[in-house]
Structure 1
Amino acid sequence: MSALPLNAVPFAFDTEFGADGAVLRASTWQPTKRAFAPAEVEALVAQARLEARQQALNEVEALRAEALSIVAQTVSQAATALRGVAEAHRRESAELALAAARVIGSAAFERFPRRPLEAALEALGQEMDATPRLVVRASGLDEDGRAQIEALCAQAGFSGLVVFRDEPHLPAAAFALEWADGRAEFDPAEAEARVAAALNAALAAEAGHAEPPLEGGAHDRRGF
């Protein structure tokens, strides 16, 4: 007995007849069409072309979406890297500016050690006008320096008593002024630290995590 081919399909009687021979359920089987008219061939070819075109468009759209996703990820990574580079550049530029200001300020204080005190007396002349006594604390004040400060006080409108207190521990250009209802002081090191803190706060604000500034007293002119 010969074996059945692999693609053999057993015949199925799917038409149902009644007792009287009438067809109760017709068969749904349709023979495979093996001959096509030219118009049918053209319609099938057109349909195949349309399906192929749609499939190609779908593939192109999928590739475009994937490319856009890759571009978006690359741009996001590049933006993050650029933000880091810009922040590092700003911080390094600020540090360089602080270093340059430190060198320039140190040279200026060595050459003109009394200029910050003179500027303070000129700016605070009106506040000290009515006070009877002004205490000036500084280091290395000789007779010429004291006479110059007294002359500046007179020019600013102060007519009270100027009392000098020598403070050897104060660095050059540092001073403290004390009068009846106020005080002003200047220390180059503290001023430099405050400038650095303000600069760091500004850089932190650009990065989005700034800390609130500290509030000072109304009559305490620290770091004038």
Structure 2
Amino acid sequence: MEKIIEIKNLTKLYGNGRGIKDINLDIFKGDIFGFLGPNGAGKTTAMKIMTGLVRPESGDVKIFGHSVMEEYEMAMEKVGCLIEIAEAYSYLSAFDNLKQLARYYPDVDHQRIDEVLELTGMIKYKNEKPKKFSLGMKQRLGLAAAVLSRPKVVILDEPLNGLDVEGMIDIRKMIKYLAEQEQTTFFISSHLIHDVELTCNRIGVIYDGKILNVESTQTILSNYATLENYFVSEVERNGRVSSCAR
């Protein structure tokens, strides 16, 4: 399998003791990788480093063999991302927001804008302005922006935040469609165990800034009734669940 993302010995600690500690991960072409952990586990820190928003204390991230720290433009050339909150120009329509972004990509035309609006369930709102949108609709528009340029890698931090059940289903379908039809590689963080189980083909459990284990979803579900059971087992096995939570 072709290795797309290499994370080596990645460490970044903050004054409050949170962050990530010596993370190592390999992500392969076509993976829908789920980065699963509770709030404060270090997911967003790792993803900010992966996208060049934060520098690590040590370690490196390579995307398509290029270091994010040393060759940022080459590493990020084929990457789309949504980290934390989806932002948009409130005074422009959904279509015109994406049209502004499309100026940076020579191969993105109006047809592609309509295509990603359709993929994210936003086509019927294309002429409406984000100032009227719900949180879930803003999230959908942010996801449309993340895949607009036909990236080969998409990094999404809590992409299902704010979405209703219909929205979650739509975005899961989009992710699986792009992974299967365009061999897009996804790196997705979430604390929503059920949605990770339904979306991802490989899962890495992160807890207290450390990777506990990485396994295929198929293998996990052949040994555990649910992903939640697996997660609790991994955390308990590593001695990190208090007795009151067991």
Same fold (TM over 0.5): no
Bigger strand share: 2
Bigger helix share: 1
Interval of TM-score (by shorter of Structure 1 and Structure 2): under 0.3
Report the structure number with the largest CA radius of gyration.
1
Please, what TM-score do these two structures have when normalized by structure 1?
0.21
- More relative contact order in 1 or in 2 (CA 8 Å, sep 6+)? 2
